[in-house]
Amino acid sequence: MSVRTTKPALIEQGHWLTVRDCRRVLVVVHTVTFAQRLREVFELLETDLRIQLVFTVAPHAFGTGTTEYLRSLGISTVPWKEALRAEFDLALAAGSRGVHRLRAPVLRISHGAGQIKLLTDVSTLARGERRVPGMLSRQHLLHDGELVPSAIVYAHDRDLAELAESCPEALPVAHVLGDPCVDRITAGVPRREAYRGALGIGGRQRLVVVSSTWGPTSTFGRLDSLLPQLLSQLPREGYRVAMLVHPNVFAGHGDRQVRGWLSCCRERGIAVVPPEADWQSVLIAADWVIGDHGSLTAYGTLTGATMLLTAGPRREVSASSPAALLSAVAPVVSPAHPLAEQLEYAARLRRPGQYDQVTASLSSVPGEFHRRMRSVVYRMLGLGEPASPSPAAPPPLPPPLSRWESAPGTADAR
């Protein structure tokens, strides 16, 4: 973006602007994953003529593709260094890196299902300090001993109880607002047949969704043990398979490399859903979800799908997280038996209410995220809320799986 285009959004006088005297909100985006979660917040504000949204991409190891994702939404960005020099009425962020340098009150939101992954960098822990998930840690919430966010958003009351032990300084600014993905998936479940139709799932076909977070202990990190089963043990006439791979995998290894590794899947008609695509409708349409300790697997319990897990790490996962609760009630895929038999066995074995404890752990206030979030944001901006409701909308209809099933090199490949 040219300097001439970006400056008007940041210059205090705003003499290039048509709409004046707006509250200015900076949306700090580190990664595609963070952008997808922040979208649930900034879309609550973008129609208000009293608010000017400004977007910037902050440096991050998994930041590849973030600017392109925002551009696909019609969003232009200002340089990070320029954003640091300007003052804003509020900053929205889903990550912690660099936000202490902003000249604005910071509202920090979570970006996954509960607080699952424990801190990986134990070198930052004081002697005797226990590992906790990042959004509950002093390392992610404080800078030089000072609390950075002016407001912190959590999904569950459980988070506040844990925060009281791990970082009590943050309790006065912590809010339990729920989870937007829980609310959208719940709103979309009644439309399951419409999603299946849009994806091209035939009446007698069944959909298997393979979900992977990032990291060496993820499904993708151990894909070599699962791939033979996916490629050779599911009858193609009865099953469709879609892979939901965490955007950090694409950002870390490179889009072309990941697609190269998965070319054998696409050649066999397995859909590789792009990282920027809406994954919620695909999850709702599933008959089975095979996943790891990532957020998408936990969100799968909200749908009608039967859950199966890949072998996962115990030491990286918080014992009170949705992922840990799911690992206690969902069967684990084994390489020793045909995959189709395992899917059918898991479906027969599933009992009513099997995932209730998991779904209850995802949000203390289901259906309330957008209403509560809007209330907090407008209060921080010193503005009255719009006189209209802000309900969670169901996910949009997805494109057909065939768009993502073709091999690299065809017209749809990026």
What is the DSSP annotation of 242-307? EEEE-HHHHHHH-HHHHHHHTHHHHHTT-EEE-TTS--HHHHHH-SEEEE-SSHHHHHGGGSSPEE
Say yes or no: 219 and 313 in one domain.
Answer: yes
Residue 391 maps to a domain: no
Residue 161 maps to a domain: yes
Say yes or no: 242 and 126 in one domain.
Answer: no
User: Comparing 17-26, 32-41, 318-327, which segment has the lowest mean pLDDT?
Assistant: 17-26
Confirm if 111 and 33 have CB atoms less than 8 A apart. Answer: yes
* Residue 414 confidence (pLDDT): 33
CB-facing half-sphere around the CA of 155: CA atoms within 13 A:
23
Say yes or no: 320 and 335 in one domain.
Answer: yes
Say yes or no: 42 and 171 in one domain.
Answer: yes
Say yes or no: 144 and 44 in one domain.
Answer: yes
The residues near 226 (Cβ < 8 Å, ≥ 6 apart) are: 210, 219, 290, 310, 333, 335
Residue 386 maps to a domain: no
Residue 399 maps to a domain: no
Say yes or no: 150 and 249 in one domain.
Answer: no
Q: Give me the residues paired with residue 288 across strands.
A: 208, 306
* Total structural domains within the chain: 2
Residue 403 maps to a domain: no
pTM (two decimals): 0.91
* Residue 3 confidence (pLDDT): 37
**Which residue, among 61, 73, 151, has the nearest Cα to 107 in the 3D structure?**
151
* Digit-coded pLDDT (tens) for 94-117: 999 999 999 999 999 988 888 887
* Digit-coded pLDDT (tens) for 257-315: 999 999 888 888 899 999 999 999 999 999 999 999 999 999 999 999 999 999 877 77
Confirm if 398 and 195 have CB atoms less than 8 A apart. Answer: yes
Residue 390 maps to a domain: no
CATH of the domain at 273: 3.40.50.2000
Q: How far apart are CA 385 and CA 49, in angstroms?
A: 12
Q: How confident is the model at residue 235 (pLDDT cuts 50, 70, 90)?
A: confident
With vertex at residue 26, the alpha carbon angle to CA 63 and CA 61, rounded to the nearest 5 degrees, is 15
Q: Give percent of the chain above pLDDT 90.
A: 73
Say yes or no: 250 and 114 in one domain.
Answer: no
Say yes or no: 188 and 177 in one domain.
Answer: no
Q: How far apart are CA 28 and CA 109, in angstroms?
A: 11
Longest CA–CA separation in the chain, Å:
69
Say yes or no: 121 and 167 in one domain.
Answer: yes
Say yes or no: 175 and 191 in one domain.
Answer: no
Q: Which domain covers residue 25, as residue numbers?
A: 3-181+365-381
Residue 136 maps to a domain: yes
The residues near 338 (Cβ < 8 Å, ≥ 6 apart) are: 229, 233
Say yes or no: 206 and 173 in one domain.
Answer: no
Q: How far apart are CA 94 and CA 84, in angstroms?
A: 17
Say yes or no: 28 and 153 in one domain.
Answer: yes
Q: How far apart are CA 180 and CA 33, in angstroms?
A: 14
Asked if the model's pLDDT at residue 242 lies above 50, the reply is: yes
* Residue 121 confidence (pLDDT): 65
Residue 412 maps to a domain: no
